[in-house]
Structure 1
Amino acid sequence: MPKKFLKRLMPDPGTLKNNKYLKLLGSRLHDNNLWNLNRQSAAGAFAVGLFCAWLPIPFQMLVAALFAMFFRVNLPLSAALVWLTNPLTMGPLFYFAYRLGSFLLNRPHHYKHFELSLSWLSSAMSSAAPPFLLGCIVMATVSAATGYMVIHGLWRWTVAKRWKQRRQNRL
């Protein structure tokens, strides 16, 4: 895992700890596990960040930060990963989640007509909400599990590769 690269991207913990708005979180923010970058904290941060990226709610970064504090994983990495769903990618990703939910619930996934009215929007959302939310939860769970396993595996592979190189250099 490119630990040096990730460390350069992360903000300074001292600056964040002294931020007047973040002082509301108290001593929980001073937990070293939130700022360390090791195999467990990075893999857990990917799981938290990717899970929160699929939540169709505002303030995803805040939710990811709270989850990171609860699970004691790397906070900056967790908060940064929610930007997987940014204004450019949100539409296609959430449409995919809706299509997945429609498939899992065995429901039709398209509307015959479009009307720009509040009544049409409320009826469309009432029928689209269950498949959309199911698709988001399934994708959040799959993404979190996959992200955790991939980062954990990459980290172990990188460490094993470095040990092998050290061993060969000594001979």
Structure 2
Amino acid sequence: MPTQEAMRESRMLRPFADRILRSELWRFTQRSVPRGVALGMLAGFLVPVGQIFAAAFLALPVRANVPIAALVTFITNPFTYPFWVVAANRLGSLILRVDAMTPTRALNEGLASPAWIWWSWFVREAGVTAFGFAVIGVLSAAIGYLVAAFGWRWWVGRKWRARMVERRERRRQSEEHLGH
């Protein structure tokens, strides 16, 4: 993860550095973290190249946490990408009901070259896969937001309860000490 100084020095980010490096975009708060998770998921699935920059720029108008948004984009990486392509293609085919029996032949396919037949197949599959990626991106962003929001509340609640137990224990010990 690049540091703020590295981002400030970046030639590509220099025009936007003052907006990206605002302190509220780098704080971990109850609202900024779930927003960052959602934007990172969305950018991770919808933007094939430059996901980190897309997530950082999307974080600006909605005041999401920039480091979280950038980090979550790594859900799609060179190791997991083949899995996501197959999943997106299958999901897109399922939703759009595209399969081997779907009529996609051109009227003049008998006159078409093998290259044209291959190209039409590729365009159909790319469209189905892109639609699947859009669905996965939107669903994962929504689920990621909810999980992060509930996870944040659980984590803060757990810390608060532990602090309360600690205070009670200190109070009990001081009462025992004063009583004896």
1:128 maps to what in 2? 125
Mapping 1:50-65, distance limit 5 Å: 50-55=41-46, 57-65=48-56
Would the alpha carbon gap of residues 143 and 54 (structure 1) be closer, same or farther in structure 2, given more than 3 Å must change?
Answer: same
Contact 2:20–2:56 (Cα < 8 Å) also in 1: no
Q: Give the root-mean-square deviation of aligned CA atoms.
A: 2.1
Of 21, 27, 41, 1:30 maps to 21
Residues 75-118 of structure 1: CA distance to partner in whole angstroms, max 9, x if unpaired? Answer: 122122212111111111111011001001111169xxxxxx85
| C-alpha separation in 1, matches of 2:123 and 2:3 | 44
Q: Within the alignment, does 1:76 sit opposite 2:76 as a pair?
A: no
Which contiguous aligned blocks of 4+ residues in structure 1 show a shift greater than 4 angstroms?
none
| C-alpha separation in 1, matches of 2:42 and 2:86 | 17
Residues 31-79 of structure 1: CA distance to partner in whole angstroms, max 9, x if unpaired? Answer: 2222111221111110000111111522222211211122221112212
2:172 maps to what in 1? none
> Please, which runs of 5 or more residues in structure 1 have no aligned partner?
1-9, 111-116
> Please, which runs of 5 or more residues in structure 2 have no aligned partner?
102-113, 169-180
Q: Within the alignment, does 1:147 sit opposite 2:144 as a pair?
A: yes
1:162 maps to what in 2? 159
Larger Rg: 2
Would the alpha carbon gap of residues 121 and 55 (structure 1) be closer, same or farther in structure 2, given more than 3 Å must change?
Answer: farther
Would the alpha carbon gap of residues 169 and 28 (structure 1) be closer, same or farther in structure 2, given more than 3 Å must change?
Answer: same
Size of the aligned set, in residue pairs, is 156
Would the alpha carbon gap of residues 64 and 109 (structure 1) be closer, same or farther in structure 2, given more than 3 Å must change?
Answer: farther
With the length of structure 1 as denominator, give the TM-score of the two structures: 0.80
Would the alpha carbon gap of residues 127 and 16 (structure 1) be closer, same or farther in structure 2, given more than 3 Å must change?
Answer: closer
